[in-house]
Amino acid sequence: MIETLLYGFTIGAILYFFSIGLSITFGTMQIVNFAHGMVYALGVYFFITFLPFVGRIFPLALVLAILLSLPIAYVIERFVIRRLYGESLDYAIIATYAVLLMGTDAIKWIWGAAPQPVSDPVGVGIRILDVNFPLYRIFIAASALALFGALRFFFRRSIVGKIVAAALEDREGVRCLGLNVNKYFSIVFVIGSGLAVLGGVLYAPIATSEPYMGFHILLVAFAVVIVGGMGNLTGTFISAFILGMVIAVTGRFYSTAADTMVFVVMALVLLKDSFRKSWQRLTGMGTRA
């Protein structure tokens, strides 16, 4: 059971890394950004490619992979996302999904469709009371906590962070102060993409990397963003760990239902008001909707 909990924390941490960027784009631009999954997958493949060249030094390959995916994220933001601001939901979804489709195909083209294994960079565990804790997973969970603290600092103390936090509340208000909101969104979008790549690379030794990995995490990450409240970064942090735990615990008792359970939680959160309204309709009580 303790292993399950640790697994839940690990998945939660990865989901948190991935969901920050998604949540910010959702909260500021009202755009469901499918292209986030593409940057994530591409970053992991960069990492796998660099790893042999840098003498299998995990952190160095990680930094290189993140650095290389930042310009790609910028191009996506500048030429796709920014042009979609203020558009209806469906066009944004189609355009970013098209980017995801092209990226996935590019990965299949360059690296092939076969899954790419990555070995555990730490490889040792600590034994406490006859339970083996893989050190690497503890490290992932701890780094998510550190990131949460760092992001809180970023959004409360740094000027870029403050501007973006204000724009999450009221975009027009910030523009009226004479600030170029787009520029700050670009910065935060690129940071969010970099964090997604970081999460992807950290996850690579646990999962297998394949071209469609971006698709799979996206669906779960949508649930994280919805449950946490769109654009609410503390909510995203909490919901990532809750849903990570849901995946781990469900997976332990009923392995095939793990992802579906996440959607059940998301549906319950989204339908909170609808259930109440439906009940009023059926019973004829309360005010008419």
Among 54, 93, 145, 206, binds other proteins (CB under 8 A): 93
Letters for 99-138 (x = contact with other proteins by CB under 8 A, - = none) are: xxxx-xxx-xx-----------------------------
Determine the Cα–Cα distance for residues 139 and 93; give it in Å rounded to an integer.
Answer: 35
Residue listed under structure tokens 């669906």: 219
Determine the Cα–Cα distance for residues 275 and 13; give it in Å rounded to an integer.
Answer: 31
Among 89-97, 136-144, 161-169, 183-191, the segment contacting other proteins (CB under 8 A): 89-97
Q: Rule CB under 8 A: say whether 219 interacts with other proteins.
A: yes
**Which residues between 15 and 74 bind other proteins (CB under 8 A)?**
26, 30, 32
Q: What is the DSSP letter of 82?
A: G
Three-state SS at 229: coil
Among 55, 127, 129, 273, binds other proteins (CB under 8 A): 273
Nearer to other proteins, 38 or 65 (CB): 38
Determine the Cα–Cα distance for residues 227 and 258; give it in Å rounded to an integer.
Answer: 16
Instruction: Tell me phi and psi for residue 133, to 5 degrees.
Output: -105, 115
Letters for 227-266 (x = contact with other proteins by CB under 8 A, - = none) are: ---x-------------------------xx-xx--xx-x
CB neighbour burial string for 96-125, b if at least 16 within 10 angstroms, e if fewer: bbebbeebbeebeeebeeeebebeebeeee
Determine the Cα–Cα distance for residues 241 and 238; give it in Å rounded to an integer.
Answer: 5
Per CB under 8 A, residues contacting other proteins are 26, 30, 32, 80, 83, 89-91, 93-95, 97-102, 104-106, 108-109, 215, 219, 222-223, 226, 230, 256-257, 259-260, 263-264, 266-267, 270-271, 273-275, 277-278, 281, 288-289
